[in-house]
Amino acid sequence: MARKGLTTGRVKNMVGKASRIYLKPSLGKVIFRYPGVFRKSEKVLAINAKLEAVKGTGRAPATVCHQKWISEHPDIPHAPIDWMRSCMREEMKKLIGGGV
Whole-structure pTM value: 0.61
Is residue 68 domain-shared with residue 94, that is, in the same domain? yes
Please write the tens of the pLDDT for every residue from 5-64. 666 655 555 565 667 777 888 888 888 877 766 777 888 888 889 999 999 999 999 999
Is residue 31 domain-shared with residue 50, that is, in the same domain? no
Domain residues for the domain of 33 are: 1-39
Is residue 9 domain-shared with residue 25, that is, in the same domain? yes
Model confidence at 100: pLDDT above 60: no
8 A C-beta contact, residue 8 and residue 56? no
Residue 20 β-bridge partners: 33
Is residue 13 domain-shared with residue 32, that is, in the same domain? yes
Q: Could you give the number of structural domains in the chain?
A: 2
Is residue 96 domain-shared with residue 65, that is, in the same domain? yes
Is residue 33 domain-shared with residue 65, that is, in the same domain? no
